[in-house]
Chains A and B, each alone.
Chain A
Amino acid sequence: MSSYPEAGDICRWTRGKKGGEREARRKVKMIMEDTKSYIGKESPEFVFEVEKGNIRDFAVSIGDNDPLFHNEAYAGNSRFGRIIAPNTFSHALRGNKISLLKSIPPLRDRIPEKLLHGEHEIEYFRPLHPGDVITFKIRIADIFKREGTRNGMMDVVIVEVPCYNQHREKVLTYRQTFVIREE
């Protein structure tokens, strides 16, 4: 079992020794004429109803038996007063990303076989409850090429998805970085 890294070492541990410099050398940002026009493109608006059973099934699938995700009595007595969704449940707010990514011609034939989910970020504003109706659009925030550690050149697409509830309150924003390998 590896020894536990010291406080500042967490970043070095996760990036590897000299990871910062290596990444800077490797990162080649080339805006391709035929893809940059897709930056800012938005999907149609999607609507998602948060359901109690979906929350429970999601919690089961990640092996979390926290009663706040499925027990009405427990949730009723909690500081939230209701069942809430787990903190990565927003993965279910998918819309149709494949369709949006396939609308970028140079990437079309490589999706989904060469598609990898590289990074994911969530910014939280409000909890999600059963009965919430969430609306969102997927926006292409950036497209560029990058040389990978082991996969050669890759196309990188970043999407941004602000999500709103039925009261028009922002509940969360998520950002995904997709990597599309060339071979």
Chain B
Amino acid sequence: MFEDGHSNLYQDIESYKERIVYFADVNIGDEITPLTKEPVTRTQIVRYAGASKDFNPMHHDEPLARAAGMTGVFAHGMISMAFLGQMIKDWCGHERMRKFKVRFRNLVRPGDIITCRGKITDKYTRDGKNFVEAGIFAQNQHNVIVTSGQAVIELPDRQP
């Protein structure tokens, strides 16, 4: 259905279950399940531009990117942030993050294989709500950190 490898979108979803992580079960130092993405492609960048409406030509116009002094087009930084967001969502379920902040450190280029990682750095309760904080980063196949940041996640109590 999608020539560039996204044909898994409509695969059988009956076995799919949203993960749930309880506050009591998380400790400082715990690793968030790493997520390795398929290699970034120019077509993916085009799909992302179309879906986000971010048509900055530096992401898809090769001659213009080179004329501006880059070695070629590069991916939107937000794609790496989306990858990190998926890592967190896959780990603890949807709509648990309360704050998500990243810095884009190095460019992501077509062909890059991005791995997202993170660790819990803090755990506390405030106003009756349970929060964990995580340090997170995305690195490419050369172990260069492309994006790094923090997340504040609200986790539920285990039901009695």
The chain A residues found within 8 Å of chain B, CB to CB, are: 1-2, 4-8, 10-11, 13-14, 54, 56-68, 70-71, 74, 78-80, 84, 86-88, 91-92, 94, 112-124, 127
Contact = CB atoms under 8 A, between A and B. Distances in A.
A65 B101 contact: no
B28 interface: yes
Contacts of B82: 62, 64, 86, 88, 91
A87 B83 CA distance: 10
Given A13-B145, A14-B137, A61-B47, 15 more contacts: A2-B143, A14-B149, A61-B50, A66-B89, A67-B13, A84-B94, A87-B94, A118-B104, A119-B102, A120-B78, A121-B100, A121-B102, A122-B97, A124-B100, A127-B95
Interface in B39-86: 44, 47-48, 50-54, 56-58, 64, 68, 76-79, 81-83, 85-86
B98 interface: yes
B103 interface: yes
Contacts of B89: 64, 66, 86-87
Contacts, number: 154
B129 interface: no
A122 B119 contact: no
A10 B51 contact: no
Interface residues of B, number: 61
A7 B8 CA distance: 35
Nearest to A127: B95
Interface of B: 2, 6, 8-11, 13, 16, 18, 28-29, 31, 37-38, 44, 47-48, 50-54, 56-58, 64, 68, 76-79, 81-83, 85-86, 88-89, 94-95, 97-105, 117-121, 135-137, 143, 145, 148-149
Given A7-B29, A114-B68, A120-B81, A87 B97 contact: yes
A124 B95 contact: yes
A61 B48 contact: yes
B101 A57 contact: no
